[in-house]
Structure 1
């Protein structure tokens, strides 16, 4: 098979105008007859039953110049296969993610007949795909998953558009062109910004992306999927304390407590200083003594009406001596609880 090369001149020499093959993709089944290569349609994956696509991807190892230098290409055999995956899903902060815990491939324990039947231009893919995987709740039993042959056929023929295909450049300075859909009525050509199959691109990762996209299409089919009832997520509350912001309030509270305790200790031994509440309530309730009432009326207005002069009346409440009025100590009247 021609995996790498260029169009040499008539004398067999190489020049800058020779067309060069950068990437070639070769299926392991003939496009027109579906006859398998290597007997089983695969070179390295002979134990996989009924793959979706299998072929070689040959890429120039270091661009156009590496082909002109006759350097060997980088070759991968890539295969897409039906499988059953056991996944664990999670949903956090609006993001859904999955992790694959186990994968069950469609492994052939014995040789199977070739699944294609071709009569003239009529292609038939006859087997239904069935896979078994252990049940999660019942380890001793298996669950069977199936894909009808019509569905498998519709998916597999899509890959015929790209296997086979060619990626060539007319010279060192020209833009490479992709040739695909290589059917009898003529291939389709187009220019692409970047070829994911061209070295040093990660071909394996690109195939994994294609497999994931195909899986998502299969799982998103509303006619064949089954919705399960259950909680999609569980809410948990987490409290994060930013301690630097609490230093000042806590320090202020601590200093206030220290100041209060220090004040109590300092004044606990002072028995000479009196404590009372400044309030006019006793005077309003019990009034002034009779003699102080006379002293408080010291002046008379022009019309003969007496009036009070509060500046001549001084009342002081002492904790042990009662009332002191105008410099003379008067016994305090009996006050209700709560008054000193």
Structure 2
């Protein structure tokens, strides 16, 4: 019957071991070491290919490295194990006899067991070449751990596409046309008017929190949820406020009752009813005093008991476009203000009747160019205005007004803004002109005419305050706000700043905007290679080769004493102990469980021609040993 595959392999290995060429004798071990070297080299090549690259570039790369690492570790232990096995036979050859326990220790160590390697190291006290193999065997237990530490998989933000935010260079309001008495007219921007109303009669809506920021109030496109944009510029609205309390003066005088509740303006008269009042006035001693806070007095006045707790006064009249204080107090450097107004107020009627000095601020909303840094992360949009630019050139008042007709509902004026709004950024290489036409400027300013001037009145401290807006072409509208934003307990400067931001967001949300392109990022797993962790496996690779070569040299020099048997069990079967030694050990119970001390302490020596020699016994082995090499029965 023919030999099966394992027998054929063993016969092939036996023929190699029987070779006179030392390299052929150890060709299998050298091939194993070479295989381990190839695997480690392949791992290094793969790591070079994958380092600093996303894992998605080769998802199975880690699996391949793991398999190669296992093969490298398995093939590296083979030459070391076989070398220890060969040194086992050489240990028992020579003139000195050895204890039988040494054979068991060597045998365990040669099979790659860590305990056997430790025992071999202790037994030889580190003075034998086999001790080096034992150390290598122990160290090889950690080789997998070092391979695992070579690769780190950090999550890194990587570019995944583009994100877009809107910006405006030239504003265009698309106001619908209509005709009144054959005259072409344009309506104001309804969205803008609605937004302004929310801020003047209430505290307006607040941004919706999202993550560590707020939801975007402009159309933002960010496919990954994490985007960043370079610094960009857009036309927008800015604001500023300054104290003007010094303009106020206390007085009790007769003046027009333009602030009281439920007043109706006589459409045939150009003035309001007059009455006596006390409070703080602008132009208290001038021709046209305007009460900012105060109360009506006099027994014959229907409105006695009402208190004006806050007032907003535009410095450009919303009907005639005539100016007060030249149209501004503190902000004459701003060329194209949208609205400049003074707001003054007290907390309640008690403060009004106590004649306390109200706060008074001049606030302005004006066109500007904003330089913005924008980010979008985890649903939260953030903007940082880095710098603003304005048109600060000087020139005549641009408003021109002409009375077209005086109707029963009030006079109709034709407004003209004498110039286009133009803002240029200094040292801008693109020389972009930001702004709008004069017509768009008029339509924007008219949206504020519906809310300025405004009056906040109360009858007594327990009465809910009302805010009255003057819609001069259709009477007055009185509203009850949930929160009065114009009283001292609120931050007026911050409120006006929020209004400016809201208007900026509105014009950036129109369909006639441009887009700024940014980068969209997403977290991606990258491969980071820690090359230092490969030092240990490569060092073991080199040391195992040196150990194998040293063993080959040692065995070659001792040729003729021991055969090249390595980890083979055949010599144990062939070179059996003498019969008298076997009988003595068996009869004494030395092989019983727990009673192996005598057998282990028995000293033996292996002779190539004589077989096992046992100290104290002179008989020959049971099976004669031929003079050939390898011994009879070797397969």
TM over 0.5: yes
Say which of 453, 456, 460 aligns to 1:167: 456
Does the C-alpha gap of structure 1 residues 71 and 233 become closer, same or farther in structure 2, counting only changes over 3 Å?
same
TM alignment of 1:81-96, pairs within 5 A:
81-91=366-376, 95-96=380-381
Secondary structure of the structure 2 residue equivalent to 1:175 = coil
TM-score under structure 2 length normalisation: 0.38
Does the C-alpha gap of structure 1 residues 284 and 117 become closer, same or farther in structure 2, counting only changes over 3 Å?
farther
Residues 292, 311 of structure 2: 8 Å contact kept: yes
Q: Quote the Cα distance in structure 1 between the aligned partners of 2:305 and 2:618.
A: 129
Say which of 384, 388, 394 aligns to 1:99: 384
Q: What is the aligned partner in structure 2 of residue 199 from structure 1?
A: 488
Residues 168, 178 of structure 1: 8 Å contact kept: yes
Does the C-alpha gap of structure 1 residues 320 and 8 become closer, same or farther in structure 2, counting only changes over 3 Å?
farther
Q: Quote the Cα distance in structure 2 between the aligned partners of 1:220 and 1:79.
A: 23
Residues 310, 486 of structure 2: 8 Å contact kept: yes
Note the C-alpha offset of 1:212: 0.7
Determine whether 1:186 maps to 2:475: yes
Once the two structures are superposed, residues 47-87 of structure 1 have per-residue CA deviations (whole angstroms, 9 ceiling, x without a partner) of 32221111111112x43212101222211111101111222
Secondary structure of the structure 2 residue equivalent to 1:201 = coil
Over the residues paired in the alignment, what is the CA RMSD in angstroms? Answer: 4.3
Determine whether 1:109 maps to 2:394: yes
Q: Quote the Cα distance in structure 2 between the aligned partners of 1:172 and 1:91.
A: 46
Secondary structure of the structure 2 residue equivalent to 1:3 = strand
TM alignment of 1:296-315, pairs within 5 A:
none
Does the C-alpha gap of structure 1 residues 324 and 33 become closer, same or farther in structure 2, counting only changes over 3 Å?
farther
Q: What is the aligned partner in structure 1 of residue 320 from structure 2?
A: 33
Q: What is the aligned partner in structure 1 of residue 350 from structure 2?
A: 65
Does the C-alpha gap of structure 1 residues 86 and 281 become closer, same or farther in structure 2, counting only changes over 3 Å?
same
Q: Quote the Cα distance in structure 2 between the aligned partners of 1:205 and 1:335.
A: 101
For structure 2, list consecutive stretches of 5 or more residues without a partner in the other structure. 1-289, 406-411, 527-566, 607-611
Secondary structure of the structure 1 residue equivalent to 2:432 = strand
Determine whether 1:212 maps to 2:506: no
TM alignment of 1:1-340, pairs within 5 A:
1-10=290-299, 18-38=305-325, 40-60=326-346, 62-91=347-376, 95-120=380-405, 121-126=412-417, 127-136=419-428, 138=429, 142-225=431-514, 227-232=515-520, 281=569, 285-286=573-574, 288-289=576-577, 291=579, 316=600, 321=605, 328=617
Aligned length: 277
Structure with the larger helix share: 2
Residues 134, 143 of structure 1: 8 Å contact kept: no
Residues 316, 324 of structure 1: 8 Å contact kept: no
Q: Quote the Cα distance in structure 2 between the aligned partners of 1:329 and 1:58.
A: 126
For structure 1, list consecutive stretches of 5 or more residues without a partner in the other structure. 239-278, 299-309
Does the C-alpha gap of structure 1 residues 330 and 321 become closer, same or farther in structure 2, counting only changes over 3 Å?
farther
Residues 359, 488 of structure 2: 8 Å contact kept: yes
Residues 316, 325 of structure 1: 8 Å contact kept: no
Higher RCO (C-alpha under 8 Å, 6+ residues apart): 2
